Amino acid sequence: MSREMKANLQGVDWWLLAAGLLLAAAGLIMVLSASGIMAEKFYGTKYHFFHRQALFCGIGLLAMIACASLPRPVLYGGTYLWLLLVLVLFAATAFSPLGVSVNGARRWLRLGFFSLQPLEPAKVALVLYLAYFFAGKQDKVRSFAIGFVPPFAVTGLLCVLLLAQPDFGGAAMLCALLFLMCLAGGTRFVYLFATFGIAACGAVMLVLHSPYRFKRFLAFLDPFKEAASSGYQLVQSLYAFGSGRVLGVGLGAGRQKLFFLPEAHNDFLMAVVGEETGFLGVSLIILLIGILLWRAFTIALKQDDLRDRFTAYGLALILGLGCLFNLAVVLGTVPPKGVPMPFMSYGGSQVIISFVCLGLLLNLSRRAGLRVAGGSAVGAAAPVGAAA
Amino acid sequence: MTRRAPINKKAKPRKTERVERPGDGRWRICAVAVLFGLVWLALWGRAGYVQLVQGEWLADLARRQHLAAEFERGERGDILDRNGRQLARTVRFNSIYVRPVEVENRDAVARSLAEGLRKSASEMRASLNSGRNFVWAARAVDDRAAHEIAEQKLKGVYLTHEYGRLYPNNHLAGQLLGFTDLDGKGIEGVERSRDGVLAGGKAEFVVQRDAAGRRLYLDAEGREMDIDGRDVTLTIDAHIQDLAEAALARAVEHHNGRAGTCLVVDVPTGEILALANFPFFNPNVYRKQPVDVMRNRAAMDIFEPGSTLKPFLIAAALQEKRVKPESRYFCENGKWKFKNHVINDDIHSYGWLNVTEILRYSSNIGTAKIGLDMGAQAYSGYLARLGFGERTGLNLPGEGRGLLRPPREWRDMDVAAISFGQGIGVTALQLAKAYLCLANDGIAKPLRLFLDEKAPDEPGQRVFDASVARSVREMMIEVVHKDGTGVKARIDGMLVGGKTGTAQKALPGGGYGKNYLSSFVGFFPGDKPRYLILAMVDDPSRAFYGSTVALPVVREVALGALAYTCQLPVKDAGVVEQAKAAPAVPAQVQTAAAVSGSHAVVAKAGQAEPVAEADRVPDVRGLPLRKAIEILARQGVVPKLEGRGAVVQRQSPSAGDPWPGQAQPFTLWLKGYAES
């Protein structure tokens, strides 16, 4: 038994695991600090969000362990099933009464005690699909009809569903995933850049057409000009970071969370980190993110199997894009988009999916470590074989 | 795995051969990883830049929105009379101002402001177009108008609160109360002398606020701070003050005097019940009145008292055993040449008079001789112990010390003059304090003006033996009740003691002119004084004797105060009506009040409440209207009023009838005016 466990644990990327867990732990603390006052005002208890976030982390940990120990056939077997499931979730969000509309955007699916944001599982499903696709269709990947159309069609469909919510940030996230996956997967640069050029044009058109998006876009260029309106979030976020200086004002002592920072416990959690723990704390988090990315990409590169490699790569992209995009937003370097910080920000879907990504990466790292020993990997050949 | 690996390994080189780029994507993944690394580094740098380089600037901006440096002023305390009536209070009023720059449509705003504030639209337009940044649309606006304006939510129009001081009784005790400036700082009178107590604290605190501007008190700061000023309770009784002011005003105006002062002191406690100055000063509109009117003359003006000083000389001489009440002096038949001066007796000339008679007839020559017999050293010691030459300790702003020269500077003529009240400067308060000593059986007591200050524990310094004080009081009773100068002060059924004073006013260049200061001091009752009342009229022109000018003021106030406190002998009821005092009180009430020693309990009622059987209509005839309505209202009856007046003359249904039903009217016929 113990030997089996040892064998199971062999190859587990402890750095990755530690980074993920530390981020989640730091997030838990910061969520408490950022949401306490707000939670007390609206829910009557300081710990409302903290308790929920702790619960999400617990579920996430279970999901991570499950994903890390799942046999590969189970993982890879349901690629299309996952996609279908995600599409159903999107449809349910858009059309069923379970969909919840917040601030004019219908992004959540109310499932009893917790709301699911289909975008999060969609990322994983998309990555699994694209990895499967590029690994399996390597020989046809440069052709237009087979190598280009299916992944773009699938991603495009998801993006359209996201834009309908509307969730521009989510769509951009999926497009970025597609782009980077295509880049690694070998799609022709001509197709790639032409498509993304067109998409970028479309995005610009969209931005220009919607005054709200246009304003928000311009606001990021000079947030202080419109500090009271469209640049508000950004300015408040920068205030928070600035107030933190080197050592921060102290855990819990931040003031920006007093309803100045919208979504302080959520997308702008890093601003609270910046204010309360200063550059030191922010650096610590950035360092953890660095470790996470380094290990995730390393795991991807270590994979010998193409599908494994692309999967690991895609999972690294999900976490990496999330972290960097979120940092970029809160630091005012890209237009503000609602992107949570993986592991840290409050939100069940995000936390659980981050842990799922972590678990899958650990699973793959374990496989990579067990390259020779592998016993349960037999079935894994099936999709590849089918593709070949 | 074994099957798969070769396939992969085969596939890759195959692809590599077939296509230009290696298909395993490793280098591409590497490239993306490097790209991520670069972005990661850049963001780290960005965080450092924002937090370390821009930090100070951003932190400062943030602090401005988090922290509201606020200061809050506590409300200034009220000034109350001894019964808790407000003499001065703080009111909050609305003011409306406009920032014309922010106004979009000035004409429309001017029109709606003018309409809401009942002002002329053209003036409003003019002030909006005056080019200034800040324009008061209206100050001290009533709540309704302010609310209506606020409801309209006009852009650039702001509502604010200002605090002002209101003196609800207008000129009542105006000079005593003083006033505050626009910032609520006491400038004159009690407002100034007790500013430390009255003034609300100013709390400056930096509060944290949230995005909605709500203040967040993270500890007790601010919330539990008690910064309101304290109330000051005066010993003044507003009713007696009003009596004194009314009587004083009548006398000064009747005799065409320049000014007047009237003091009423409660003898057992030394509490000043009234301190009136005329002409009146209304602190509500202090800026519109001449500075002279603001003077609290009773405390500030120094004058030569004249004959009202004589009782102290006699008391001192009795105490020094230089004279006995029966000691006789030759009064030189009204004219005495003394050291190049001539001392005259007014009106009458006298030959031999005993000491009692000297005071009764107020002989200057007699008192001068007594004074000379006693000598400067002894006499001045008594004057000093009585409190002349020093402030009374009431701490009123600008209170005078008086003028009492050291005795070694007194030449004989000075001794003689000071004996009959010349060559010495006193304030009305000092004089009252000295008389208080006589009234108090010779024990010098401080005057008191603040009820909330603790009364001094130790008994005052004894200046005269009780027997001496008593015999001087007896002499003062003779001034009134025998053929003295104060006969007009008599009140039937009560012994009254008094002393007149008719002081020639010194001319600025020396000598005495034709201007007088008439004064009268009375003890009520004279044998065991309860009230000490002092009145002075400055520069009366139709008559100038204290007995004709100041005495009636004292008597009128005495009657009113005695009636008000139910201590007026029943016999004199007719006089009360004449003096427009409260209606006479039934005997049983009077005794009750006298026993309790209360000033106010029965006073307002004026009459005993009729003993009403619950199911029968009470007799409300003869009651003040207010009282009658009070009684009826208790039964749920709102009477119909017929005629004008303040006293119920007739009632229907009459007393003893059963209560009328809902539909039937209850009518009261009114007549006359009663002191409310």
- Inform me whether the C-beta atom of residue A319 falls under 8 Å from chain B C-beta atoms: no
pLDDT at B217: 56
- Which position has the token pair 């001045």? B380
- What mean pLDDT is predicted for residues A95-108? 79
Centre a 10 Å sphere on the Cβ of residue B588 and count the other Cβ atoms it contains. Answer: 9
**Collapsed DSSP state (helix, strand, coil) of residue A258:** coil
Judge: A286–B3 Cβ closer than 8 Å, yes or no.
no
CB half-sphere exposure, B605, CA atoms < 13 A: 15
From B608, B638, B626, select the one nearest B670 (Cα to Cα).
B626
Q: What are the Cα distances from residue B445, in Å, to B312, B430, B435, B522, B592?
A: 15, 11, 10, 18, 28
SS3 B19: coil
Can you give the pLDDT at residue A127? 92
Would you list the DSSP string of B404-421? ---GGG--HHHHHHHHTT
pLDDT, position A8:
67
Cα–Cα distance measured from residue A211 to residue A230, given in angstroms and rounded to the nearest whole number: 11
CATH code for the structural domain at B71-233: 3.90.1310.10
Instruction: Flag whether pLDDT at B325 surpasses 70.
Output: yes
Cα gap B198→B188, rounded to integer Å: 13
pLDDT above 70: residue A1:
no
**Core vs surface per residue B639-661: b (16+ CB within 10 A) or e:** beeeeebebbeebbeeeeeeeee
Q: Which pair of structure tokens corresponds to residue A112?
A: 């009893």
pLDDT classification of B676: cutoffs 50, 70, 90:
very low
Show the tokens assigned to B286.
């202090």
- Residue ranges of chain B that CATH labels 3.30.10.20: 594-676
Catalytic residues of B: 307
Give the residue among A50, A33, A46, A51 at the shortest CA–CA distance from A255. Answer: A33
| Sequential DSSP letters for B132-162 | -S-EEEEEEE-HHHHHHHHHHT-TTEEEEEE
User: Which token pair is B54?
Assistant: 């821009």
Mutation site, A306, A323, A326, interface B, largest B CB count within 10 A: A306
Q: Does ipTM exceed 0.90? A: no
Query: B208 contacts in A (CB within 8 Å)?
Result: 255, 258
**Whole-Å CA distances, A288 to A19, A237, A285, B163:** 5, 21, 5, 59
Instruction: Quote the CA–CA distance of B559 and B565 in Å, as a whole number.
Output: 10
Q: Which of A253-262, B382-391, B543-552, B584-593 has the highest mean pLDDT?
A: B382-391
Contacts of A245 in chain B (CB under 8 A): 51-52, 55-56, 59
Task: Report which residue type is found at A279.
Answer: F
Please check the confidence at residue B583 and state whether its pLDDT lies above 60.
no
**Closest Cα in chain A to B207:** A255
pTM for the full predicted model: 0.54
Here the tokens at position B17 are: 């051969």
Contact B142, B184 (CB under 8 A): no
pLDDT-derived band at B146 (thresholds 50, 70, 90) equals confident
- What letter does residue B308 receive in the DSSP assignment? G
State how far residue A208 is from chain B, nearest Cα, in angstroms: 27
pLDDT digits (tens, 9 = 90+) for B426-458: 999 999 999 999 999 999 988 999 988 877 777
Strand (E) or helix (H) holding B343: strand B341-344
Three-state secondary structure call for residue A167: coil
- What residues does B234 pair with on adjacent strands? B450
**From A183, A282, A306, residue closest to B24, measured CB to CB:** A306
CATH 3.40.710.10 positions along chain B are 238-564
CATH number of B238-564: 3.40.710.10
Q: How far is Cα B646 from Cα B284, in angstroms, rounded to an integer?
A: 29
Helix, strand, coil percentages (3-state) for chain B, rounded to 5, are: 40, 20, 40
Give the whole-angstrom CA distance, residue B394 versus residue B429.
Answer: 9
B562 Cβ contact partners less than 8 Å away, ≥ 6 residues apart: B491, B494, B524, B531, B568
Q: Is B208 exposed, middle or buried (0-12, 13-18, 19+ CB in 10 A)?
A: middle
Q: What fold does the segment set B594-676 form as a domain?
A: Trypsin Inhibitor V; Chain A (3.30.10)
Token code pair at residue B260: 């007047």
Place of tokens 């002349």: B388
Q: Tens of pLDDT along B375-388?
A: 888 999 999 999 99
